[in-house]
Amino acid sequence: MMKNIFGRLALASMVAFASMTAVRAAPEPGQEAPVFSAKTTMGDVISLEDLRGKRVVLEWTNDGCPFVTKHYETGNMQKTQRILTEDDVVWVSIISSAPGKQGYATADEANAIAARHGSYTDHIILDPHGDLGRLYGARTTPEMFLIDSDGTLAYAGAIDDRPSARHSSVEGATNYLLAAYEDLKAGRPVAKASSQPYGCSVKYGS
C-alpha cells in the first residue's frame, strides 16, 4: 500500500517537473524577440512583424492572481499603460491560463475585465494552450516584456522592485518597465534590462 502511495507521489512529481520544464527559458534582452501571430479578443489577428516600427509591451496577466490585482486595484498598471500607450507604445495583455485554471477567461470575459479595470491595453490575446507563454518563457503574472521598434527585446521581468501582493507596496516602488522605456526613448542603453519576475505562476495546462 505504502509503495503504491510513494509511486503515485513520484509520478506526480515527475508530471509537475515535466510541466515546468516545458516552459522555455525566457529570451535574453538584446536578442530578437520571438515572433508570433495571434488572434485578439476582438477577433483581429496581430503579429509582431506587423508591429515592427513600434515599441511593444507584452504583459502576462491573470485576474485571479493577488499580485496582478494589486497593480490593477491601486491603478498602478493602468497608469503605466496610459503613460506608454499615449506615447504610441502598443500594449498587449496575454492570458495563458488553461481552461479550468485560475485566470482563464473567454474573450467576452477578458474584455469585461479590461473594461472594469479601465485598462489602456490595445490588444488582449487568449493563449489557453500556452503556446505564446512558453515561447517567451513566461513564468509569472504579472510578467513584462518590452520590445524595441526594431524587434529587439529591451526589457524582461517584473514590473517593479516590490515583490509583494500588498497594495501599499506600490507606493515608492521603482517601475522597471517605465525606467527601461525612458532609457530607450532617450537613446541610452537600458540600465536594467532584466529582473526576476514575481507573482503567481502562469497557470499552464498539461
Asked if 161 contacts 176 with a C-beta cutoff of 8 angstroms, the reply is yes
Q: C-alpha cell of 113? A: 475585465
Other C-beta atoms lying within 10 Å of the C-beta of residue 192: 14
- The pLDDT, as a whole number, for residue 23 is 56
The CA distances from residue 130 to 35, 120, 203, in Å, are 15, 24, 9
The CA distances from residue 128 to 88, 107, 163, 173, in Å, are 28, 11, 26, 32
The CA distances from residue 76 to 7, 113, 141, 143, 167, in Å, are 46, 16, 15, 14, 10
Alpha helices in the chain (DSSP H): 2-21, 66-73, 76-85, 107-117, 131-136, 176-185
Does 162 score more than 90 pLDDT? yes
- The pLDDT, as a whole number, for residue 120 is 98
- The pLDDT, as a whole number, for residue 173 is 98
The band of 92, judged by pLDDT with boundaries at 50, 70 and 90, is: very high
Is pTM beyond 0.85? Reply is yes
Q: CA 162 to CA 145: how far, in whole Å?
A: 17
Instruction: Out of 3.40.30.10, 3.30.530.20, 3.20.20.70, 3.40.50.720, select the CATH number for domain 2-201.
Output: 3.40.30.10
Q: CA 111 to CA 63: how far, in whole Å?
A: 12
Read off the pLDDT of residues 2-30 as tens digits, 9 standing for 90 and up: 333 323 333 332 233 333 335 567 789 99
Helix (H) or strand (E) holding 113: helix 107-117
- Give the residue carrying C-alpha cell 475585465: 113
What's the rounded mean pLDDT across residues 25-36?
91
